[in-house]
Amino acid sequence: MASATALNELREKMTGGPVEMVTTELCEALAGAPQVWVLDIRLASDNAVQLYIEDGEVFEVNLNHA
């Protein structure tokens, strides 16, 4: 499990709005999260490739990237 520091750093980055980060950084930070309310992930190179989760329910998943 990641430290609370990693989760706090992620929270600070996200406060200003959308940010770009590598998947490893995101996974490490979220490993320490007791709960995720909203998660909206999109490829930086193609916004149509998306995973959107709100309150634990998947609302949009379009991860088929050719």
27 plus 47 within the same structural domain = no
In the prediction, which pLDDT does 2 show? 53
Containing structural domain, residue 49: 35-66
6, 29 in Cβ contact below 8 A? yes
24 plus 41 within the same structural domain = no
Report whether pLDDT(1) > 60: no
26 plus 47 within the same structural domain = no
Q: What is the pTM of this model?
A: 0.54
52 plus 28 within the same structural domain = no
Q: What percent of the chain has pLDDT over 90?
A: 0
Report whether pLDDT(65) > 60: no
18 plus 6 within the same structural domain = yes
What is the end-to-end Cα distance of the chain in Å, rounded? 33
28 plus 48 within the same structural domain = no
41 plus 52 within the same structural domain = yes
